[in-house]
Amino acid sequence: MRLEIGNVLIKDVQFGQETKVENGVLYVNKEDIINLCKEDEHIKSVDVEIARPGESVRITPVKDVVEPRVKVEGPGGVFPGILSKVDVVGSGKTNVLKGCAVMTTGKIVGFQEGIVDMTGPGAQYTPFSKTNNIVVIAEPIDGLKQHEHEKALRYCGFKTAAYLAEAARNLTPDETEVYETLPLMEGAEKFKGLPRVAYVQMLQSQGLLHDTYVYGVDAKQIVPTILYPTEVFDGAIISGNCVSSCDKNPSYVHMNNPVVKELYKEHGKTINFVGMIITNENVYLADKERSSNWTAKLTRYLDLDGAVVSQEGFGNPDTDLIMNCKKIEGQGVKTVIITDEYAGRDGASQSLADADKAADAVITGGNANELIELPKMDKVIGHPEFIDTIAGGFDGSLKADGSVTVEIQAITGATSEVGFGYLTARGK
């Protein structure tokens, strides 16, 4: 499977009468996006704002972040099973509007949506302070159920991203990235002697509003399976969950998964990056046992030497993470796990809800309980009144002067468990 990613570099976003890219500027027809989103009967009103890096802007509550991509050559389309037909993606050519993102907000869905500050100390904790953001504020009709509200917002973000990406369809990219994974036996022969490594990605799937979709299928309904890593770059995995914003993987992160990219950098040099195993995170013990058993089985089936395992969320999923680690190690496959920590505001509490001596190679995205002071911004997009009730906030988080005190748990992407952020920690 070979995929070319063509990056069309976006330096600025502005509103205009026509949606197009000229000289690195994305011009956006605001009314087109409003009309597109209002096609959904569950959406009462829509507005669109632009937030640029360095501006005194706060966006909250942030639901999802999506990167505009368009399939220009090869089978299927971006977001298969969601917007495109169900075809196997991950090959051919895909163009990307690199440097911008679609962000969705509006009245809160769950209680774990996030904050993105475009400047100030909060901006240092989120990668989305560095993107030019097209923010869609979509308000639901009265009495809409939470899961219907989430779906309406999710589709609003994807439709907007797909609409904007059409501006890149016929453009010559500023830069091109090439990713390729050979069929199993062909790769084994070509990279004979190199350690065989796979990426095990745990997908959040622990109940209502904790959903991740694979080719449009809720990950709760899958058993662990194998993907070509290039499939994720075309939106084969997308977010639909409301876990804490600090360690939630927005759809943008799935489409730019840094673990996949880093493993590709070493592919054919120091490792044979065999492929990707996806597994879910479960509520009940029997389901946890089934998924971890299957995951370990697949690592042995692929005859791996090593595996990188990442989780999404915290608390209950820590058990799935340690089960996967222990059972994969039991197959003779060395593991490195990626997680984050909830160690209390002083950092002195137990970091994970579960542990095992097999988990002796751990990368952390930082302590989500750390407190931070966020100054008043000149402009707020969304609904700041929910800051007191989102995860990481508390009664009194939002001050009368517009400043905020929260745990970094409330900042979108602050402790990313795939490393799409800036924090880590080192043991003494």
User: How far, in Å, CA of 233 to CA of 46, rounded?
Assistant: 28
Nearest to 122 by CA among 186, 200, 54: 54
Nearest to 419 by CA among 351, 365, 366: 365
Of these residues, 37, 100, 242, 325, which one is catalytic? Answer: 242
Do the Cβ atoms of 234 and 69 come closer than 8 Å? yes
CA angle centred on 76, ends 157 and 260, rounded to 5° = 70
Reply yes or no on whether 242 is catalytic.
yes
* Secondary structure (DSSP) of 157-226: HHHHHHHHHGGGTTSPPSEEEEEE---HHHHHHHTTTSPEEEEEEEE--SSTTEEEEETTEEGGG---EE
Nearest to 337 by CA among 295, 288, 286, 301: 295
User: How far, in Å, CA of 46 to CA of 345, rounded?
Assistant: 38
**Chain-centroid distance, C-alpha 98:** 16
User: How far, in Å, CA of 417 to CA of 428, rounded?
Assistant: 21
Is residue 5 helix, strand or coil?
strand
What tokens were used for 9?
């570099």
Residue 354 carries which DSSP code? -
Write down the number of H helices and E strands in the chain: 7, 25
Nearest to 69 by CA among 53, 50, 82, 58: 82
Which backbone phi and psi does 98 adopt, to 5 degrees?
Answer: -85, 125
Nearest to 128 by CA among 305, 381, 298, 336: 381
What tokens were used for 43?
């959406």
Neighbours of 9 (CB within 10 A): 14
3-state helix, strand, coil split of the chain in percent (to 5) is 25, 35, 40
Beta 100-105 vs 64-66: how paired, if at all?
antiparallel
- Catalytic residue set: 242
